[in-house]
Amino acid sequence: MGSFSTRVITLMPVAIAINIVLGYTVQTVLKLPIYLDSIGTILVGVLAGPLAGAATGILSNLIWQYAPGIGGGTIGPFAITAGVIGLLAGLWGNLGIYRSRPASGRRLILFAIIGAVLVFVIAIPIFSNPAYTDPNVGGYPSWVYTAAIAIASIAAVVVAAFIWLRRDLAGFYVAVAGVVTGIVAAFVSAPIAAIAFGGVTGSGADLIVAALRKGGADVLQASLGQGLFSDPIDKTITSFVVFIILAGLSRRIVARFPLGEKLVDDRIDRNR
């Protein structure tokens, strides 16, 4: 399960700061329809386990909510979602998902193709939902269906390219972890956004909620629809950023964390 060692406790404030600074910049300043406020949470979870990851996510949101100058928004109640993301990150860490797996030849090509196909297949239930295609069910704008397919296609190509260019099968596992984390986060966040804020949270994602509401969706449907667009792509990007950070650290540093040995087994460390 990991532990709150001195190294973990030292890392957590840094991770919390990363979450708040990036999250505030992306959501409030740039108004983008993604978040990027979970990089620190996932990093701690992967290195130290579910409890440390959950604590980092929850504290990030609570501190952000009451921080002078940037606090007072809607981020606080989503501490529940942040905690779930941290728990999942700890699970991925325990499973060794972020461990580098160098490969070449046919195996590399096969995993690149499977990775791309899997990302697209996982997205099929999202954009094939009758709520997006049947006006009698959800009444969503026609662009929603097209946008969902475009996002899924781009994500699939990016995953395949990442695996191939890095010659590393870990990209496949990291992509799956990111997509699953995003879908879970969307389902956890939707009721919070709908009940506490009427679907309006002050971020760039509000534009998607407004469009879905205009198309006939109720508040919960619109919040969930927005989450199923934003969260999977956001958490996949975040997961890849964390993987790149971990790959750039020396074996010695990573191994000192509670789950470090699950990350370095197959790594080629040039800093030994």
Per-residue pLDDT of the chain (272 residues; tens, 9 = 90+): 557 889 999 999 999 999 999 999 988 888 777 889 999 999 999 999 999 999 999 999 999 999 988 887 889 999 999 999 999 999 999 999 999 888 888 889 999 998 888 878 877 766 666 666 666 655 566 676 777 788 778 888 888 998 898 888 888 899 889 989 999 999 999 999 999 989 888 777 787 788 778 777 889 988 988 888 889 888 988 999 999 899 888 888 999 999 998 887 544 444 44
C-beta of residue 236 within 8 angstroms of C-beta of residue 176: no
CA nearest neighbour of 243 among 97, 94, 129 = 97
C-beta of residue 181 within 8 angstroms of C-beta of residue 85: yes
d(CA 67, CA 113) in angstroms, rounded, equals: 45
Pair of tokens at residue 238: 């975040």
**If you search the block for the tokens 């309006």, which residue do you land on?**
200
d(CA 50, CA 88) in angstroms, rounded, equals: 7
Which residues, other chains included, contact 233 with Cβ-Cβ below 8 Å and sequence gap of 6+? 34, 151, 155, 182
Q: pTM for this one?
A: 0.85
Residue 201 φ/ψ, nearest 5 degrees: -115, 0
- The DSSP line for 66-100 is H-TTT-SSS-GGGHHHHHHHHHHHHHHHHTTTTS-
168 beta partners? 102
Residue 116 φ/ψ, nearest 5 degrees: -65, -45
102 beta partners? 168
CA nearest neighbour of 181 among 258, 117, 92 = 92
DSSP state of 22: H
